[in-house]
Amino acid sequence: MNRHIIRTIVMAAALFQPAMTNAQGSAPTEYAVKRSCGGEAAPCYTSITRALDAAARDTSQRWITIRIAPGDYREKPSITRDRVRLIGSNAGTTRLRFDAVAQTAKAYHRAGWGTPGSATLTIDAKDVVVTDLTVENTYDYLSNDELADTDPRKIGNPQAVALLLDIHSDRVRLDHVGLLGYQDTVFANGGRAIIRNSLIAGNVDFIFGNGQLLIEQSEVRSRRRSAPHVPGAFQSFIAAPSTPLSQPIGIVFYRSRLTREAGVPDGSVALARPWHPTTRFPDGRYADPSAVGQALFVNCFMDRHIHPDHWTEMNGTARDGTMTAVFRPQDSRFAEIGSHGPGATARNIGMKSGAPLDIIAIRRGLMADWQR
């Protein structure tokens, strides 16, 4: 190729580049989601999924804001683009719902795992803001829960996630949202997230995982079970952290209210139990010994549904493959400070008395590099 041709190509590229930059810079940064898009000036889509797909095609580093009109949206979207704001009208009128359940949701997940595959909303990106909407998994957990264990209709994996904070998520903020489900409502499986001024509802291990999650100024509502309660026994569990030992912060509740819906008995719910996920190692497949959960409750109101022991154990996979390994709360990183309310008095079960991280240190650790 001679010099004249090369010079022509270079000059053409130089002239073309600004045009590309200007076109990218003039692209819209705000989308609308409505049931009907007639007459809408901004780019408008009739589903949240389509709006997110359009946002993902924008490869700039700009923030994209998606405003969702009131309505019920039955879909299963994923946020995979960094710097996205998902803003509803309010949590009472903008509702995202889906009814996937772990038993049959493997096809939704990249590795064929049913629990994360069941999520109604998946966040797998950095710098994400979600406000003023409700995210719900509407799987009929209670109907399955009331079936006898010997009933062939009963499924063994009824986990049904509303919100999945997936492995690439980090610096996620949720404010004035509703997160509703039964078992496994919120799965913290990524980096750092904060939930504020919100409602989280569920029953079994409904806030769980290995991520770093701060829940503040929120209502954490325990929901009923269909099976009858045995007095003195644990019926449900709020948190099930699987925090790696290398990570000082797990699931933290700050100035939140632990409430219950009608039908949840007194003294039936644990604050947390330690989840050691079954993991494959070079010498076998068994519960991860380094997943020593961290859970902290700071200045929280606790109603009478909280069990007087406050914490309980959890079984995991032993090296022989059976679910006989027992992990105790006394060996976990569980603590509470400033609990109050009729369920706040705890029985002495030998929990460690060491001083946990204070809320200032937790905020500093979570929010050091967040973009405002």
Which residues are tagged catalytic? 184, 205
Residue 354, both tokens = 């060491």
Q: How far apart are CA 63 and CA 127, in angstroms?
A: 9
Q: Is 225 within 8 Å of 265 (Cβ atoms)?
A: no
- Between CA 64 and CA 79 the distance in angstroms is 11
* Beta-strand relationship, 163-165 and 186-188: parallel
Q: What is the number of other CB atoms lying within 10 angstroms of the CB of residue 237?
A: 25
- Tokens representing 39 are 């007459």
Place of tokens 């629990």: 115
Write the DSSP string, 203-233.
SEEEEEESSEEEEES-EEEE---SSPPPTTS
DSSP alpha helix (H) spans, the chain: 3-26, 48-57, 114-117, 141-145, 359-367
Both tokens of residue 149? 């264990």
Instruction: With H, G, I as helix, E, B as strand and everything else as coil, classify residue 154.
Output: coil
Q: How far is CA 4 from CA 7, 8, 16, 17, in A?
A: 5, 6, 18, 20
Evaluate whether 61 touches 83 at the Cβ level (below 8 Å). Answer: yes
Alpha-carbon distance 145 to 141, whole Å? 6
Q: How far apart are CA 230 and CA 215, in angstroms?
A: 30
CA angle 66, 67, 72 (to 5 degrees): 110
